[in-house]
Chains A and B, each alone.
Chain A
Amino acid sequence: MRKITPFFLSLILSLSAAAQGEQASSSLMRSHLKMYVVVAVLVIIFAGITLFLFSLERRLKKLEDNSK
């Protein structure tokens, strides 16, 4: 559990860092009636859930290693 908290913090911090480089991608994000904003949101959600599943997998792996 203690390992998960830094992960959430880094997730939030990395996004505010990503927002800095927004000028270059701004025209893409605003094209097609802002459809790419939805794409970006989907990518973020997919990445977040994947990272959470990886953290679960790490805990499971530790259990497996201990039970040997």
Chain B
Amino acid sequence: MTVFPSQVADSTADSTQIKATCSPEVAVAKFSQFAFPYREILYQSIRNTFYHVPMWFAMMLILIFSTVYSVRYLNKGRIEDDILASQAVNVALMFGALGLATGMTWATYTWGEPWPNDPKLNGAAVGVIIYMAYIVLRGSLTDEIKRAKISAVYNVFAIVIFTLFIFIIPRLTDSLHPGNGGNPAFSKYDLDSHLRLFFYPAVIGWSMLGFWLLSIGVRIKLLESKKSSQ
């Protein structure tokens, strides 16, 4: 059975099972039954919307944060800003790796293979590699000031290229991802906003976890740099 990416299937074949797996207690009071976008290739794995997608949202937020601090470093020249920017890239790379890994798992059982030749996937992989290069670049420079300056400039360029690869190019061509290449995004699947009710809190939660990890990394780094300067 082929299901086109833009097709929202309202099959009733499994509707009894759907009712059985979604108990009415979960439902918001005014709805008689909890509903979620139902498609043949997705089924219950639509719930990955709360895990796979926020990984990329959190990554993007943290990368924007990192760029802001890189620009601030170039303006003011405070080494703390450089530490914040570099630790942010570390956490963002963790989210990127998790986003790729969860995406591959999800793709295996929905699109049929872990890595279909999709522009969004390839773009995301290139984006993650660009930020790995940032880490390598920092590792290759020993002088603290030079390292901070060069990597801050690189970081500003990196976010531009990352945005280009992950948001713009997939929209210009065909993509399996919702919201890209003429595919419908949320609004088409999520007719009664039930997914949004859980999705946006999930984005906030995962981002907050990311910023917490980031703050731990920064505090350790500050202690390390204080130690080495003594």
Contacts and interface: CB of A to CB of B under 8 A. Distances in A.
B10 to A, nearest CB: 15
A19 B106 CA distance: 11
A56 B223 CA distance: 13
A29 B109 contact: yes
A59 B104 contact: no
A24 B213 CA distance: 36
Interface in B90-122: 90-91, 93-94, 97-98, 100-102, 104-106, 108-110, 114-115
Interface in B10-29: 14, 17-18, 21
Nearest to B51: A41
Interface stretch (B40-48, B68-76, B189-197): B40-48
Contacts of B94: 8, 48-49, 52
Interface of A: 1-2, 4-5, 8-9, 11-12, 15-16, 19, 22, 26, 29-30, 32-35, 37-38, 40-42, 44-45, 48-49, 52-53, 56, 59-60, 63, 66-67
Interface of B: 14, 17-18, 21, 42-45, 47-48, 51-52, 55, 86, 90-91, 93-94, 97-98, 100-102, 104-106, 108-110, 114-115, 132, 135-136, 138-139, 209, 213, 216-217, 220, 223-224, 227
A48 B97 contact: yes
Contacts of A29: 108-109
A66 B230 CA distance: 12
A1 B90 contact: yes
A15 B136 contact: no
Contact of B86 (A1, A16, A37, A52): A1
